[in-house]
Amino acid sequence: MYSEKVMDHFTNPRNMGEIENPSGVGTVGNAKCGDIMRIYFDIDENQVIQDVKFKTFGCGAAVATSSMATELVKGKTIYEALQVTNKAVMEALDGLPPVKVHCSLLAEEAIHAALWDYCEKNDIKIEGLTKPKNDISEEEEEEEY
């Protein structure tokens, strides 16, 4: 069902954990659908992501996409990190089963949510970066699929 890369990132997730006093943190997804991802950033004064950690509640693909997403943004500037798409995450994992594509979207959203948090704290405006819509800290909305 899963590629070798997905299994590798699921069983040996990279950057799993949390960062104390992170520069930015974002949580997306909801428990109702069975996927929640949280990404922490440690971003330096040059806006470079020095460290990144994640925690994920979800299936094998959710864990693997989180792990891969953190690998792809580590060491990048916040602007470069914003360019990391769900497609890039999927490609880096040698693909995902069709029913699991939403996991990669969630990974992209988690990066954006953590970047939004950082930007908001530091009063930075980036075009195209909007407030995350399904952060679990907000009121849970009924979503239609």
Partner 1 sequence: MEEKRFIYLDHAATTPAREEVVEAMLPYFTKEFGNPSSVYTFSQKNKAVITGCRETIANSLNCKSNEIYFTAGGTESDNWALKATAKAYATKGKHIITTKIEHHAILHTAKELEGDGFEITYLDVDENGIVKLEQLKEAIRPDTILISVMFANNEIGSIQPIKEIGVIAKENGIIFHTDAVQAYGQVPIDVDEYNIDMLSASGHKLNGPKGIGFLYIRTGLKLRSFVHGGAQERSRRAGTENVPGIVGLAKAVEIAFATMKERTDAEIVMRDYVIDRVLSEVPYARLNGHRTKRLPNNVNISFQFIEGESLLIMLDMAGICASSGSACTSGSLDPSHVLLAIGLPHEIAHGSLRLTVGDENTMEEMDYVVGHIKEIVQRLRDMSPLYEDFMKKNK
Convert residues 96-135 into a mask of x (bound to partner 1 by CB under 8 A) and - (unbound).
---x------------------------------------
Q: Is the dihedral of CA 85, 70, 54, 47 positive or negative?
A: negative
Q: Which runs of E-coded beta strand occur in the chain?
A: 24-30, 35-43, 49-57
Question: Closest approach of Cβ 74 to partner 1, in Å?
Answer: 18
**Any alpha helices (H) in 13-97, and if so which ranges?**
60-73, 78-82, 86-92
Nearer to partner 1, 47 or 95 (CB): 95
Of residues 54, 49, 86, the one with CA closest to residue 67: 54
Nearer to partner 1, 21 or 46 (CB): 21
Total residues in contact with partner 1, by rule CB under 8 A: 26
- Is residue 103 among the annotated active site residues? yes
Footprint (CB under 8 A) of partner 1, residues 27-86: 27, 31-38, 55-63
- Is residue 119 among the annotated active site residues? no
What tokens does 9 get?
Answer: 């990132």
Q: State which amino acid sits at residue 18.
A: E
Of residues 48, 51, 45, 24, the one with CA closest to residue 111: 24
Catalytic residue among 68, 82, 103, 111: 103
Nearer to partner 1, 5 or 80 (CB): 5
What tokens does 62 get?
Answer: 């959710």
Question: Closest approach of Cβ 47 to partner 1, in Å?
Answer: 25
Give the binding site for partner 1 (CB under 8 A).
7, 10-11, 13, 16, 18, 27, 31-38, 55-63, 99, 145
Q: Which residues are the active-site residues? A: 33, 103
